Amino acid sequence: MTMDYTTFGRTGLQVSRLVLGTGNFGTGWGYGADVDTSRTIFDAYAEAGGNFIDTADVYQFGQSEEIVGNLLQGRREDFVLATKFANGAVPAPNRLVTGNSRKAMVASVEASLKRLKTDRIDLFWVHHPDTATPSEEIVRGLDDLARAGKILYAGLSNFPAWRLAHAAALAELRGAIPIAAAQFEHSLVHRAPEADLFPACHGLGIAPVTWSPLGGGVLSGKYRRGDTGRREGFGGRVFQPENSEVRTTTLDTVLEIAQELGTEPDRVAIAWAMGHGAVPIIGPRTLAQAQSNLGATDITLSAEQLGRLHTASVILDDR
C-alpha cells in the first residue's frame, strides 16, 4: 500500500489521502468493534502511512473518543486528530450540551479533550446544523476556542453549501479562525454534492472531507452476498440501499471493473471518491475491511473506466 499526502485546503497541514473514521470504535450503539479490534484497525492504518483520525463525541456514546485517546498515547503528534460536537455523548443528553450554541460547544470540547486525553483538538467539526444557532454565534464560538488553544482548525460537517459559504465569509470578514474544511457524504450512489458543495469548497479554498464512500457498504457488493452490515447496524442509518436502476447499474459497473483490475470492489469505489479532490473517510469495523479499504491507494482507474462509472452513476436529471 502506498499512501499519498495532500495539502489540506489553505492550511499548512499535510494529511494522508484517506482518513480513518472511528464511528465503529466501540460497542455502545450495539454495533461496532471491541477495543482489541479497534486497535488492530488503527495500527493497520498507521502502518499504511495514514495520519488523519476522525471521531465524534456521539460515536458509540463517547467510547470512540475514549478508545482513540488511549490509542494515541505515545504517538499523539503523528496524527491530525479531528472530532465533532452537536449530539452529546450519552443516549439522552441535556439540551444545553446539544446543538451548535457556544455553551454546547464549550461543554463538548472540554469533555472531548478529557476522553481523548489530549490538550487540544487539531480539527473541530460542528457535526451538523441545528436549525437554531446563527452562523455568527458558531463562528465566534470557534474563534474563542482557537484563541484559548483548545482547537487548531475549524470545520463544518453536513452543512448546506450556502451556510458553508456564509460562515466562511463571516469568519474572513471578522478576522476569526477560518472555516478550513467541510465534511459531507459523497459516493457513486450519492453524487449530489458535486452540484454545490464541491464547487463551494473549490472556490473558497475549503478542504472537502467526504464520508461513506461505499454508500454504507453497498458499493462493496456485500449486501448481494447476504451480509447485513449497516443495512441493519446503526438502525439502518448512514446507508444507501440498492433501490433504483441507476444504483444497480452503478454497482454492476463497480463489480465489473474490480474484476478487470483483479481487485476488490470497495477499492474501486474508494479510488473513484479520491479522484474528486476530496479526502475520503473510511470506516471499517474489522481488520479485513480496513486492509481492503486501504488497498484503494494502489488503484489507478483508467479514463475509460472512469467514464463508465460516470455514465452508470450520474443522476437521471443529468442524462
The DSSP bridge pattern shows strands 279-282 and 207-211 to be parallel
Per the residue annotation, which of 5, 31, 45, 59 is the catalytic one?
Answer: 59
User: Quick one: 168 exposed, middle or buried, by C-beta within 10 A (0-12, 13-18, 19+)?
Assistant: buried
Q: Which residues of 196-218 are buried (b: 16+ CB within 10 A; e: fewer)?
A: ebbebbeebebbbbbbbbbbbbb
Assess whether 59 carries a catalytic annotation.
yes
* DSSP string covering 50-92: --EEE--TTGGGGHHHHHHHHHTTT-GGGSEEEEEESS-SSSS
Distance CA 264, CA 220 (A): 8
CB 94, CB 107: distance < 8 Å: no
- For residue 284, the SS3 value is coil
Distance CA 145, CA 158 (A): 21
Cell numbers for 168: 466562511
- Among residues 260, 176, 250, which one has the least CA distance to residue 218? 250
Positions annotated as catalytic residues are 59
